[in-house]
Amino acid sequence: MLRFLCVLLLSLVAGAAQAATPKTVLVLGDSLSAAHNIPVEAGWVHLLGDRLSNMEPTWSVVNASISGETSLSGRNRLPALLARYKPAVVVLELGANDGLRGLPLDALRDNLTAMIDQATAAKAKVLLLGIELPVNYGPQYRDGLRAVYAELSKQKRTGLVPFLLDGVALDPSLMQDDGLHPVAAGEPKVLETVWKGLHPLLD
């Protein structure tokens, strides 16, 4: 009887410790997720962390985003990040710099596919955040870039936000002078766009 009670007590303690440990959302992105030219606390990833910390059970956010990041450099960094943080959800916000440099879309597709597979193998759910390019890049390239995210999400069964800056990019009052990055006032709207795709993955 005493042995049974000890085992039961240890199980309860272990379960309580596991419940108290927040799960992690890992955000791997570029300047759009790295609070470019605005205070870090105003960026959508920081705002997401504030929201998740108030949930029950709580979640934590690791922002591994770097300005200038491409899909290839993100692919190279992801294995170490997965090993270190063991996230339950991985948010991939990469491809903007590939597109702005006119890099081959097949390479972007290959890199995103590899990252999705890496995250899935680490037992993490994946949310893809799509981006749009300025109209001067031409309809063929822009449509092809858009299709990369939609097709991969369908093939790999990931979450998808078709356009990260939906409702923000075409509003000059919410964008910086470069026309590429939101001002601080636009970041809460970016968070709401991400939240629509992320919330269903938080179980």
Per-residue model confidence as pLDDT tens digits over 53-77 = 988 888 999 999 999 999 999 999 9
- Catalytic-role residue among 65, 98, 153, 181: 181
36 counts as catalytic: no
Query: Quick check: is 181 catalytic?
Result: yes
Length of the chain: 203
Whether 60 is catalytic: no
d(CA 28, CA 102): 21
Residue 46 tokens read as 């920081």
Tens digit of pLDDT for each residue in 149-174? 999 999 999 999 999 999 999 999 99
Catalytic-labelled residue, pool 31, 33, 71, 153? 31
Percent with pLDDT over 90 in the chain: 86
Res 117: pLDDT: 98
Domains and CATH numbers, the chain: 22-201 (3.40.50.1110)
Q: What is the pTM of this model?
A: 0.90
Catalytic residue among 143, 177, 178, 203: 178
Do β-strands 23-29 and 89-93 pair in parallel, antiparallel, or remain unpaired? parallel
Average pLDDT over residues 6-33: 69
Predicted confidence at residue 8, as pLDDT, reads: 45
